[in-house]
Amino acid sequence: MLYLAEVQKQKGGLLSGSSKTELKLLACQRTDQNWSTVSEEVIAAEEASKLNDGALVLVELTPNRQVQRIQEAGRPLVNILQNFSRQLEKYKLKEDEIDQWKESLTFQAQELNRREMDMEVRLEQLHEMEDEFQRLEAQKQEVDTSREQIEQLQAEVERNRQELEGAWEHLRGEQRRLEERLQEGNVLDATQSQAMSELLDRLSSRIAPTETVREHLRVAVELIEKQQATLNPHWQNLEEQKTLVHQKQEEADKLAQTYSDRQNSCKQAQDSLQQQTAQLKVNTNSLIAKEEHIRFVREQLQSQDTLYQQINFLAASSGNAVPSQKLDVQALENMPLDELQKIVQDLIDKLGIDSSFVHDQEQELTYKQQTIEELQQKINQASGQDLANLQLELSDERDLYQMLNQTLVGQRRNLLARQKLIQQHQNVLLRRQGQPVPTTEDDNSVDFSPILQQIETQRQKQSQELQQLEREIEQMRSAIELDQGMIDNQTHDLQEKQQELKTIESDLLSLKTATAECWGRINLYQEALQPIQDCVDELRHKLQGIGESLAQIQETGDYQLQTITEIRQTISSFISQPELLAS
């Protein structure tokens, strides 16, 4: 199991001259991305004696708590922190997306609540209209009943008028016959006088009375006026509704103009955003070309570094590049043989630890190279924001590779120096043991310094070119980030304008719908009121005609009574018998 530990060294006494190295366990890896703290356990680990006190390492322990492998924790911790940073960025993007969804759902819920309230208001208005229509229908029935009564009254008046005209015609006939007989000189006898008097009495009694009809007419007029008084508030309400709907129509027209202006502004902002996005794409493509060029330069520089390291390693292997350490051979000659053997064995053990550590670092360097190659393959297939992220990750991995590679150069050199020191100690030990000492052929060594100097000069030149390219790329990235920030701000503003435009559009649609509904209610209201008003006006006109007819009938009856009186007086002047005059 893999643990994060801290190297702790305990110095020995002055006499022993040795030190004890331990590892203090701090955390344990549960999964690839999950670490948990552990109880502060300390285990002995002489394998970490070459490390400094307080250094952080990654150590693999066997189930029986034995050290299996030790690795410096610097680079792995950097990788873990980088992965953690990327995860935080992803979580931040997800949180922003969730917040946007929450805002959208909140807006939709508010819009649904508003529409639900509008539907409730409209439903209540519909119920009020139904009640109003029922009242108007009842009033219409009352008007129809009044019209029937007026028609009956008018029919009765017409019958009385016809009867009166018949009696009046009969009276005229009798008057003509009377005048004819008077002209002939005939004098009325008692029987004729009696018959004439009876006829005049009958004619007087046939004059139609108008008081009852006038009373019915007055009641009908009052009923019509009451109906009109009931209709007047409805007409007033209709006018108020018309005024209100005209105001809504003006508001809808203003809102439509605002919608058109905002739509034009949104279109201009969208065109500007498209132009800036196109320019950003051009700059991004230019940056990609620069990065491709810098990648090529880095690959060349990396190849030169590899060549330099190989030649340097070859020179070091030949003994030219590794500086010889000053060795006190006399002290080794005077040292007890057992102590010399122990020193040689300690040097060999430490060399083994260093060799294992260098081997682990070289494996990690190989893994880094594989990671770089995998990222390069992904970059060849990626585009857009993924491409930029992968390029940034590739740049970080290359920097890590370069740092680790430079570290390994010194570690290899130190490893060769240790090997040469061990060889010197072994030569002294073999000589003291009486064994033959192997000879080294230094005369056959090759001088690699001119080649190394030429490679170093070329490396410096390409490093300067690389630094210049990196500065240009950094400037381009800064400009692109600035442009991207402006585009993001404009995109946010455009989204707000589009959202505001949708809100205005929704309000405009609701206002137009409400205006259309108001016009529908007004038209329906007017269609219901107008027939009733027409019927009331028609009945009023008929009642006025009936009143005028009653006035004529009254005038005619008075004239008939006056005429009958005159006939009586005329007949009385021609009657010779006093008893006829009395009759």
What integer pLDDT is reported at residue 437 of this predicted model?
A: 74
Q: What is the pLDDT of residues 125-168, one digit of tens each?
A: 778 777 777 777 777 777 677 677 777 777 776 776 677 677 66
Q: Is the pLDDT of residue 206 over 60?
A: no
Least confident of 24-38, 83-97, 438-452, 531-545: 438-452
Phi (first) and psi of residue 44, to 5 degrees: -75, 140
- Looking at residue 440, its amino acid is T
d(CA 196, CA 176): 13
What integer pLDDT is reported at residue 333 of this predicted model?
A: 79
What pLDDT band is residue 13 in, cutting at 50, 70 and 90? very low
Tokens linked to 168: 């009046």
Q: Is the pLDDT of residue 578 over 70?
A: no
Residues 6+ positions from 238 with CB-CB distance below 8 Å? 522, 525, 526, 529
- Looking at residue 462, its amino acid is Q
Q: Average pLDDT, stretch 100-112? A: 84
Least confident of 10-14, 293-297, 363-367, 560-564: 10-14
Residues 563 and 173 sit within 8 Å (Cβ to Cβ)? no
Q: Average pLDDT, stretch 483-498? A: 87
What integer pLDDT is reported at residue 12 of this predicted model?
A: 55
What pLDDT band is residue 465 in, cutting at 50, 70 and 90? confident
What integer pLDDT is reported at residue 444 of this predicted model?
A: 45
Q: Which residue has the higher pLDDT, 107 or 449?
A: 107
What integer pLDDT is reported at residue 167 of this predicted model?
A: 64
Q: What is the pLDDT of residues 381-414, one digit of tens each?
A: 777 777 777 878 877 887 787 777 777 766 777 7
Q: Give, in degrees to the nearest 5, the angle at Cα 186 between 181 and 189.
A: 105
Q: Is the pLDDT of residue 308 over 70?
A: no
Q: What sign has the CA pseudo-torsion 285, 290, 293, 297?
A: negative
Kindly report the number of other CB atoms within 10 A of residue 218's CB atom. 12
Q: Average pLDDT, stretch 291-303? A: 78
Residues 121 and 510 sit within 8 Å (Cβ to Cβ)? no
Strand, coil or helix: 3? strand
d(CA 209, CA 199): 19
Helix spans in 41-73 (H): none
Q: Average pLDDT, stretch 292-301? A: 79
What integer pLDDT is reported at residue 440 of this predicted model?
A: 53
Report which secondary-structure segment, H or E, holds 507: helix 449-574
What integer pLDDT is reported at residue 350 of this predicted model?
A: 82
What integer pLDDT is reported at residue 582 of this predicted model?
A: 40
What pLDDT band is residue 196 in, cutting at 50, 70 and 90? low
pTM: 0.38
Residue with tokens 């060594």: 445
Q: Average pLDDT, stretch 3-7? A: 86
Encode 260-283 in three state secondary structure. HHHHHHHHHHHHHHHHHHHHHHHH
Q: What is the pLDDT of residues 497-520, one digit of tens each?
A: 888 888 888 888 888 888 888 888
Q: What is the CA radius of gyration of the chain?
A: 62
What integer pLDDT is reported at residue 321 of this predicted model?
A: 47
Q: Is the pLDDT of residue 225 over 60?
A: yes
Q: Average pLDDT, stretch 246-253? A: 88
Residue with tokens 């020995």: 12
What integer pLDDT is reported at residue 183 of this predicted model?
A: 60
What integer pLDDT is reported at residue 152 of this predicted model?
A: 75
Tokens linked to 211: 């008081």
What integer pLDDT is reported at residue 297 of this predicted model?
A: 80
Q: Is the pLDDT of residue 281 over 80?
A: yes
Q: Average pLDDT, stretch 280-302? A: 82
Mean pLDDT of the residues in the chain: 77
What pLDDT band is residue 581 in, cutting at 50, 70 and 90? very low
What pLDDT band is residue 232 in, cutting at 50, 70 and 90? confident
What pLDDT band is residue 202 in, cutting at 50, 70 and 90? low
d(CA 290, CA 473): 7
Least confident of 39-43, 238-242, 489-493: 39-43
Q: Is the pLDDT of residue 443 over 70?
A: no
DSSP letter string, 281-305: HHHHHHHHHHHHHHHHHHHHHHHHH
Q: Average pLDDT, stretch 101-106? A: 84
Residue with tokens 């002290």: 331
Q: Which residue has the higher pLDDT, 276 or 554?
A: 276
Residues 259 and 525 sit within 8 Å (Cβ to Cβ)? no
d(CA 444, CA 382): 53
Strand, coil or helix: 24? strand
Q: Average pLDDT, stretch 438-453? A: 60
What pLDDT band is residue 579 in, cutting at 50, 70 and 90? very low
Q: Is the pLDDT of residue 445 over 70?
A: no
What integer pLDDT is reported at residue 171 of this predicted model?
A: 64
